[in-house]
Amino acid sequence: MTELPKKTNKKLGLVIDLDICVGCHACAVNCKEWNTSGHSSPLHDVEPYGDDPTGVWFNRIHTFEVETEVKGSKTVHFPKSCLHCEDAPCVSVCPTGASYKREEDGIVLVNADTCIGCKLCSWACPYGAREYDETAGVMKKCTLCVDKIYNENLPENERVPACVSSCPTGARSFGDLADENSEIVKLVSEREGYDLMPEQDCKPVNKYLAPKLNKDIFKNNELKPISKDENQSFEDWIEQVQGASK
Amino acid sequence: MHPSKSIIFFTVISGTGYGIFIGLLFNILFEEIVYTIEYKLFLSLVSFLMIVTGLLSSTLHLGHPERAWRAFSQWKTSWLSREGLTAVITFIPMVLFYYFWIINIKGYILLLILTSIFSIITIFCTGQMYASLKTIPSWNNRLVTPIYILNGITVGSLFVYSLNFYFNYKLHLFEKFIYIIIILNFVTKVIYWISVRKKSNTTIETAIGIKSNNITFFEGPHTGKNYLTTEMINAIRKQNSNFLRITFCILSFITPLYMINQYSYLVADPFILKISMIAVFILSFIGMIIERYLFFIQSKHVVGLYYGEKY
Amino acid sequence: MINPFETKREVVNTSPIVSDEVKKTTCYMCACRCGINVHLKDGKIRYIDGNKDHPINKGVLCAKGSAGIMQQNSPAKLTKPLLRVGERGEGNFKEIEWDEALRIATTWLSEVRNKDPKKLAFFTGRDQSQSLTGWWASKFGTCNFAAHGGFCSVNMAAAGMYTIGGSFWEFGEVDWDHTKYLLLFGCAEDHDSNPIKMGLGNLKTRKDTKFVSINPVKTGYSAIADEWLGIRPGTDGLLVHSIIYELLKANKIDWKYLERFTNSNWLVYNNPGNKNHGLFVRDKNNQPLIFCKIKKKILKSSEENTKPSFFGSYYFNDVNVIPSFELITKELLNDDFKPSIVASKTDIKESVIKRIASEIAETAFEKEIELPIKWTDINGKKHDTMIGRPVSMHAMRGISAHSNGFDTCRLIHILQMLIGSIDVPGGFRYKAPYPKHVVPGPKPSGHKSIPNTSYDGMPLGFPSSPEDLLTDENEKPIRIDKAFSWENPLSAHGLMHMVINNAWKGDPYKIDVLFMYMANMAWNSAMNTKETIAKLIDKDKITGNYKIPKIIYSDAYYSETVPYADLVLPDSTYLERWDCISLLDRPISSADGAADAIRQPVLESKRDVRPFQDVLIDLGARLGLPGFINDDFSAKFPNGYIDYIVNHERKPGVGPLAGWRGNGDSFGKGKVNPNQINEYIKNGCFHNHKFSSDQSYYKFANKSYINIANEFGWIGKKEQIVLQIYSEEMQKFRLASEGHGSKKPPDYMRARIKKYFRPIPKWYQPIEDNNIESEKYSLNAITQRPPHMYHSWGSHNAWLRQITNRNYLYISEFVAKKNKLKDNDWIWVESSYNKIKVQCRIMKGVNKLTVWTWNAIGKRKGAWNLDPKSPETEKAFIINHIIPDLLPKREDGYNYSNSDPITGQAAWYDLKVDIYKCKENEIDYKVYPAFKTLKNKSRKNIEINTYGKQIKKSFSKNQSTKHFEYIGNKKNY
Ligand SMILES: Nc1nc2c(c(=O)[nH]1)N[C@H]1C(S)=C(S)[C@@H](COP(=O)(O)OP(=O)(O)OC[C@H]3O[C@@H](n4cnc5c(=O)[nH]c(N)nc54)[C@H](O)[C@@H]3O)O[C@H]1N2
Ligand SMILES: Nc1nc2c(c(=O)[nH]1)N[C@H]1C(S)=C(S)[C@@H](COP(=O)(O)OP(=O)(O)OC[C@H]3O[C@@H](n4cnc5c(=O)[nH]c(N)nc54)[C@H](O)[C@@H]3O)O[C@H]1N2
Ligand code: SF4
Ligand code: SF4
Ligand code: SF4
Ligand code: SF4
Ligand code: SF4
Ligand SMILES: [Mo]
């Protein structure tokens, strides 16, 4: 049903730590790699070696320069994929029911067999998380690696989204954000995880952790020279350090 | 937003088709005209073709037109689905109306009223489909749906008017009706244009969630294009858009007003006048296409914030 | 039945069968060498992910590694050996069979070997089989061999090896788990790509830590730094001087560490004008001496229970001697290094320098950490704990790619020594097989070039005095790249960037064959590209022959260099061949263990290509090189490289792979084990010999560690490795410049040697600055590596090029304002040499006098099988076109190379430029210069990439609904 489930049993999603994301695109490419042969396969590339290549990606990295009061500008790398919103507008606008939110875990998916490719859902998503595959004529999107996270054919510790397991800095976490006792919920509350575009009322499940801007862990701003004399001679310096280290 | 040709064409032509019924209804109710069979057949054919072409062309931009029938299922939530459904439902009173009206069976007025109601509902759904998208602040505006409806009625009525003119039917109130509709439409449009200048409360700060009064875009995910940038990020230069707005007003509003008001003073061959009146309709139709083009090209999707677009 | 009101629900099968088989091997989308799992389905690659057990990447995978499928899929792959027809550079080739290719190569090479072996210049690029290629060169008998280190980061390697017996680069690492304060100098990606990212994530998610990045540009790692110091390029040495100055003035020095682990107490002759001036005072047994404050006499430095003095003036055999530390501090306390003076030259505020110095001291001395690990030092003394000063440093090409990089790097090492943070918990750590005794052996060989005769030693090494140089009796260079000559005496990795110029010029002599492997020398690894290309095709006016007569090149893809070869040997891809990442070479070790790895073929090549190593071994046998043939002249390794990997022994019991030797139970040394490769494959294609915890720190003076390092053959003696805060080797060269010793620089080079060779490093202005009108060329121009692209290898990758297929010159708001520039303006970037036309963009996070761009995005039309109209060719650029390869002429008409005067490291980042807006009529929306389109008959247009479609879907019945939580940085699996 394109109607959103009243409540989902789980709220599976990602938590992305902007404090440690170095913008390396690993998550984006690994996502593409898993998914091009996965649930939504293939993620076509058009004119891959041509003069204006383009293709289907579920996860992308943007970079901003943010002026802050504390320390001048800050470069912020900002990865973004589907946020698996609780009030997903992409789902409710879909005329065919191809776009749906799973009741069991809240994952938002597109049924490629019924999607008519009207693109309306991509207009409705404020985050740009929907990817129209021109070649296939259907809408695609981040599946939260639904064919990986439960996959019985993979060892247990590999059953995490591709973008999460590949991220070299560990900026991405995955889990059930409805489970109050989970580590991921703790992480979110500890770091005051937030929603993107809250005013769009999509209630995204994915959370972001802000870059830490100020870190004052030091007592002093300056070293005290052993001598007050600005023009202390080298010999005096030797004498004083020798005295001090006795 | 990307101005997709088929969507622009579809919304304008089917809107016009639906608008014809409103115009006709007004005439049937308030003007005393004895319609010839040619008139009936022609109007029926044109309105039918407009609506059908519109609907068919709307499937052109689909990735899978052969699955379009699936679009009816989500009427509970989706305006697009509702639109599809109402469009189809409209056909029932519409076809019956054609039939009753052409062979002059009583009750056609009732059917026309029904057709008109469904026509408005259909345009309403179309309008709502856009107006309900919070992601595009200039669409998410209370005036969008009324404008869709007014546009349909305006051009539809102009069609009816030019046809009546062609058939030499005398009109009194209908001209006033058109004045009012056009002026209403114009005023709404102007208010709309002013109201969309308001800043959206979705900003780059809320988009990435970091507080700062100076956030600049450094690099995007691709140095080239992607689906989002081609579909959602399109721009038109200010001068061009102003020019197009004026053109639209001249074509869709001023020309018809002028012609309806002035034709009696114009010295011309009656046949040429008739043809000119049809041209007036066509020009206003073209004006509407321009308006719809602007509706897309000028509106910015909030996703542009992630690509350094300024609002 | 069609029911339009039905909502058809999708049944998601959540357990598709991922692969028929998972083959583990080692990534080679860059030189980091992570462990990967290649999931194969229907004989195709379904997915590549990181190997969780692997010591390097522990399961993570970067963007390049994740794009391996598309590298394998690249249409630019070479398919058959090529023989040039027509003129060089035109790209007209004839496909030939391997037999013919090898016959031609053998003929060319044997002609050289019969006449004068050094007329073969064999230079390899980014490969990781230098222990094979170097050995091959030495068996061939040519001294003209080197890999890419000379244009890469030899400054880091050499500065470290001559100072602390190990180095940054990929040979050392930060103690990520314990460090509390990291200073990262000039590093964008580094070879330790994934480990650094994992480490930074770890550091930043621990409380009470701080990460400071010193970098003119704030992107990548610098973006997540807690503090960014936007330094002016080339001035890091000054900053470090200033920090050292502050620490010394405040007596924030680890005296104990200096005393126990460095040569700061060693006595130095203060005997100006004499041949021993500045050298260490040694006894008859060559043991360095100290002055003991308790016993009040001069004693051996290794003597126990002494209290060596750091300062003072003593007499030894009537000659005045002084502890080296006094000389060092005297130099380093120079008031020129006061923060207030340094600030304006480095663009770092005085208060910031002072604060950083203070934070370093506070962390080192007040946040000392103590690990409960018992260990025994080299003197047998037992310690209950390991004490650490948790300040770590790491530095890379932002330091090394300047002509003052060697000394800047030495200054950083001195700073580390002063606060006692080398190889201690929380500090910088050596990776096996380092540390080595300073200066490590061997010395470069190659004095003579005798027909059909091999060398005993290897072409590259570490000279420790002028006697070790490779110069002839007239002090002229012996090597074609002039490595180990007076021009760049400590050029431990050669000077690949000078080969083409010198060979073309015939300076010091002409060569017959240039044999290159895996180096894009006609493009992104060249300086002054235009002339380099011209030199490759230049002909002798009289004979009409090419000045570089024969060029053999091995590449795997149609790069810019391929068309310049006469004979192209097509290589396999990294997923198709055996490779060996050996402890004899550049291993994958960490500080916690010695590790090596292999690559196994996971796919069969469908092209007529051969792994280069196989080819090299085959050529070795065909040429009859010793070591490559048996006594009966049959090939010693008939099965190619894999045969060599298992069966070759460099020294008895020591082969390319250290794991599972002997009966499969010995590490490091042991007889050849025919089953060795299977063991590697079983273990995921690597072997990691973990050190016991008591061996993990203080390796230079850790008895248990030194014993095993000696057993494994990593170090020659079971003696403490003394850190060289004062460099006697440098002083030896300096003395030679003053006319002492048997080998002296030619007169015209004396001043140069004297200027740059100092026992105590002192910052100097990068050389280019002194040679140009610095008013005009006032901006520093540098490049950075994009994290998702590996040099030129990324652009033919369908996925990676979608991320970046063009670049801009990034400029500061200051420069933009001054030059009235806006985003996307077309501008000229002019150096004293040449100019390019590119588009600019304005950014905030950049030093105000620095402009920069991403490295190696620009491509030449026709290369890499891309559409010749690709953005890579029309909008993207490389700045190599304007980087001079030679410095301006000296009075006598000679040009030095644009390199560090000590090591020969290419000075890429010394570049100074001027920028200005293009005139309206100059704008054609394309970059300048545009080179002729390279011919490449194999290019086809591929409209759509449907990769993934071919992989059939099948599912296992079991459906699970259980998921696993994964908290990024905790890696809680
Ligand atoms: N402006 C500027 N220039 C620079 C630098 C900079 O920072 N700025 N950095 C310098 C540094 S540090 C370096 S190391 C150099 C790197 O420069 P190069 O060593 O030239 O680097 P690559 O582009 O990696 O090219 C190596 C060649 O290897 C080929 N290749 C790839 N895989 C294989 C394989 O499996 N087998 C074979 N046989 N060939 C293969 C590629 O096709 C390519 O032609 O660039 C230098 N140039
Ligand atoms: N993704 C990726 N990884 C790679 C490579 C690649 O091509 N792509 N190449 C590999 C190779 S061959 C090498 S050599 C390594 C090099 O690895 P890095 O050393 O990380 O190489 P660069 O990108 O040259 O980065 C140098 C950094 O120094 C800064 N810098 C320049 N001048 C100065 C200066 O004077 N002072 C300071 N403090 N900073 C300065 C630059 O802004 C840049 O951030 O990377 C290896 N890893
Ligand atoms: S992020 Fe976009 S696509 Fe994903 S659930 Fe929310 S609205 Fe839908
Ligand atoms: S594109 Fe497909 S999923 Fe999206 S709204 Fe249309 S039918 Fe639904
Ligand atoms: S969860 Fe899976 S599909 Fe979604 S962005 Fe991550 S890797 Fe891509
Ligand atoms: S992989 Fe991790 S660090 Fe890299 S861009 Fe993605 S989230 Fe950021
Ligand atoms: S850092 Fe990336 S490209 Fe390099 S070896 Fe590791 S996974 Fe491969
Ligand atoms: Mo390098």
Instruction: Using most ligand atoms within 8 A of CB, pick from A31, A82, A105, A166 the residue to mutate for ligand 5.
Output: A31
8 Å CB contact of B63 and A92: no
Could you tell me the pLDDT band of residue C935, with boundaries at 50, 70 and 90?
very high
Measured CA to CA, the distance from residue C873 to residue C885 in angstroms comes to 23
C62-86 burial string, b = 16+ CB within 10 Å, else e? Answer: bbbbbbbbbbbbbbbbbebbbebee
Interstrand relation of C593-599 and C579-581 (parallel, antiparallel or unpaired): antiparallel
Closest-CA residue, ligand 6 atom 8, reads A21
Q: Is A228 exposed, middle or buried (0-12, 13-18, 19+ CB in 10 A)?
A: exposed
Q: Do C7 and B72 touch (CB under 8 A)?
A: no
DSSP string, C721-770: --B-SS-HHHHHHHHHHTT-SS----HHHHHHHHHH--SS------HHHH
Output the DSSP codes for C363-392. Answer: IIIIS-EEE---EEBTTS-EESSEEE--EE
- Structure letter (DSSP) for residue B173: H
Strand order in the sheet with C513-517: C93-95, C82-84, C567-570, C550-555, C513-517, C120-124, C145-146
Q: pLDDT, tens digit, for every residue of B20-77?
A: 999 999 999 999 899 999 999 999 999 999 999 999 998 989 999 999 999 999 999 9
What are the tens digits of pLDDT across the range C278-314? Answer: 999 999 999 999 999 999 999 999 888 899 999 999 9
E strand or H helix at B239: helix B238-248
Distance, CA of C378 to CA of B265 (rounded, Å): 115
With a pLDDT cut of 90, the percent of chain C lying above it is: 93
Report chain C residues touching chain B, CB-CB < 8 A.
2, 4-8, 219, 802-807, 843-844, 871
A window 158-187, beta carbon within 8 A of B: none
Find out whether A18 and A77 touch, Cβ atoms under 8 Å: yes
Could you report the per-residue pLDDT of C743-760, keeping only the tens digit for each?
A: 999 999 999 999 999 999
| Per-residue pLDDT reduced to its tens digit, A19-43 | 999 999 999 999 999 999 999 999 9
In angstroms, the separation between the Cα of residue A242 and the nearest Cα of chain B is: 51
Q: State the Cα–Cα distance between residues C196 and C787, nearest whole angstrom.
A: 12
- Cβ < 6 Å from ligand 3: which residues? A 82-85, 88-90, 108, 125, 127, 129-130, 141, 202, 204
Beta-sheet strand order (sheet of A60-68): A72-80, A60-68, B215-219
What whole-number distance in Å separates Cα of residue B19 and Cα of residue B143?
18
- Please, what's the b/e burial string for B48-82 (b: 16 or more CB within 10 A of its CB; e: otherwise)? bebbeebbebbbebbbbbebbbbbbbbbebbbbbb
User: Can you name the CATH fold of A12-209?
Assistant: Alpha-Beta Plaits (3.30.70)
**ipTM for this prediction:** 0.97
Q: Nearest C-alpha to atom 6 of ligand 7 is from which residue?
A: C34
CA of C152 from ligand 8 middle (Å) equals: 4
Would you state the pLDDT for residue B268?
78
Tell me, what's the pLDDT at C397? 97
* pLDDT, average across residues C69-81: 97
* Exposure class string for C563-597: b at 16+ Cβ within 10 A, else e: bbbbbbbbbbbbbbbbbbbbbbbbbbbbbbbbbbb
Distance A42 CA to ligand 5 centre (A): 14
- Each domain of chain C, given as residue ranges in start order, spans 82-153+441-573, 168-433, 773-922
Out of A100, A114, A119, A120, give the residue to mutate to test ligand 4, the one with the largest number of ligand atoms within 8 Å of its CB. Answer: A120
- Give chain A's radius of gyration (CA, Å): 25
Which residue, chain included where needed, has tokens 């002059």?
B104
Residue listed under structure tokens 């191809």: A98
**A97 CB within 6 A, ligand 4:** no
A214 pLDDT band, cuts 50/70/90, is confident
From A194's Cα to the closest Cα of chain B, the distance in A is 7
Inter-residue contact B31 to B172 (CB < 8 Å): yes
The residue in chain B having the minimum alpha-carbon distance to the alpha carbon of residue A118 is B62
Q: How confident is the model at residue A6 (pLDDT cuts 50, 70, 90)?
A: confident
What local confidence, expressed as pLDDT, does residue A230 receive?
Answer: 86
Token pair for C487: 């021009």
Mean pLDDT of A104-133: 97
Work out the minimum CA distance from C547 to partner chain B, whole angstroms: 41
Answer yes or no: do A117 and B62 touch at CB < 8 A.
yes
Q: How far apart are the first and last CA of chain C?
A: 48
* pLDDT number for residue C117: 97
- Do A102 and A149 form a contact (C-beta atoms < 8 A)? no
Chain B residue numbers with beta carbons less than 8 Å from the beta carbon of C4 are 69-70, 72-73
Q: Name the pLDDT band for C859 (thresholds 50, 70, 90).
A: very high
Question: Do C34 and C27 form a contact (C-beta atoms < 8 A)?
Answer: yes
Backbone torsion region of residue B260, taken as left when φ is above 0, otherwise alpha when ψ lies between -120 and 50, otherwise beta: alpha
pLDDT tens per residue across span C123-172: 998 877 899 999 999 999 999 999 988 899 999 999 999 999 999 998 99
Q: Tell me: pLDDT of C960 over 90.
A: no
HSE, CB side, 13 Å, CA atoms: give it for residue C224. 29
pLDDT over 60 (residue C973): no
pLDDT tens, position by position, C376-419: 999 999 999 999 999 999 999 999 999 999 999 999 999 999 99
Gap from A2 CA to chain B (nearest CA, Å):
6
Please provide the DSSP assignment of A21-40 as one string. -----HHHHHHHHHHTTSTT
Ligand lying nearest the CA atom of residue C568: 1
Average pLDDT (C765-784) is 88
Chain C residues with CB-CB distance to B226 below 8 A: 802
pLDDT digits (tens, 9 = 90+) for C459-492: 999 999 999 999 999 999 999 999 999 999 999 9
What does the DSSP 8-state code read for residue C968? Answer: G
Residue B235's pLDDT is 87
Q: How far off is chain B from A91, nearest CA to CA, in Å?
A: 9
| Secondary structure of C146-178 as H, E, C letters | ECHHHCCCHHHHHHHHCCCCCCCCCCEEECCCC
Which tens digits make up the pLDDT trace of A169-182? 999 999 999 999 99
Looking at residue B310, what is its pLDDT? 86
Atom of ligand 7 nearest to the CA of C790: 3
By percentage, how much of chain C surpasses pLDDT 70? 99
> Using CB atoms, which chains have 3+ pairs under 8 A with B?
A, C
If one residue of A29, A58, A169, A209 were mutated to test the ligand 6 pocket, choosing by the most ligand atoms within 8 A of its CB, it would be: A169
Residues A66 and A41 sit within 8 Å (Cβ to Cβ): no
**Nearest Cβ partner of B218 from C7, C803, C843?**
C843
C590, C35 contact by CB (below 8 A): no
Query: Residue C101: which pLDDT band, with cuts at 50, 70 and 90?
Result: very high
Identify which of A143, A158, A160, A165 to mutate to test ligand 5's pocket (most ligand atoms within 8 A of the CB): A143
* Residues C307/C214, Cβ–Cβ less than 8 Å: no
Testing the interface with C: which of A40, A46, A75, A176 to mutate, by most C Cβ within 10 A? A75
Q: Does the CB atom of residue C37 touch ligand 7 within 6 A?
A: no
Q: How many domains does chain B have?
A: 1
Within a 10 A sphere around the Cβ of A233, how many other Cβ atoms? 11
Percent of chain B scoring above 70 in pLDDT: 100
Task: Pick the range with the lowest mean pLDDT from B232-241, B258-267, C614-623.
Answer: B258-267
Of C219, C177, C195, C220, give the one whose Cα is nearest residue C60: C195
Instruction: Answer whether residue C891 shows pLDDT above 80.
Output: no
**Closest B-chain CA to A130:** B228
Which among C934, C932, C865, C861 has a CA at the least distance from the CA of C91?
C934
Q: Please state which of the four CATH numbers 2.60.40.10, 3.40.50.1000, 3.40.228.10, 3.50.50.60 is assigned to the domain occupying C168-433.
A: 3.40.228.10
Task: Say if ligand 4 is within 6 A of residue A117 CB.
Answer: yes
The answer to whether the CB atoms of C805 and B223 lie below 8 A apart is yes
The domain of B293 spans 5-307
A1 pLDDT higher than 50: no
Residue closest to C684 by CA, chosen among C42, C129, C56? C56
At C972, the pLDDT band (50, 70, 90 cuts) reads: low
Report the mean per-residue pLDDT for chain B.
95
Contacts of A6 in chain B (CB under 8 A): none
Predicted pLDDT at A246: 59
Distance CA A82, CA A130 (A): 7
B15: domain CATH number is 1.20.1630
| Interchain CB distance below 8 Å, B73 and C843 | no
Alpha-carbon distances of C592 from C206, C282, C691, C712, rounded to whole Å: 21, 35, 6, 16
Least Cα distance to A129 among A159, A84, A160 occurs for A84
Domain C82-153+441-573 has CATH 3.40.50.740: yes
What was the pLDDT predicted at A152?
94
The protein residue with its alpha carbon nearest to ligand 3, atom 3, reads A129
Nearest chain A Cα distance for residue C595, angstroms: 21
pLDDT beyond 70 at C708: yes
Phi, psi of A74 (to 5 degrees): -130, 130
pLDDT of residue A2: 56
Please provide the CATH number assigned to the domain covering C773-922.
2.40.40.20
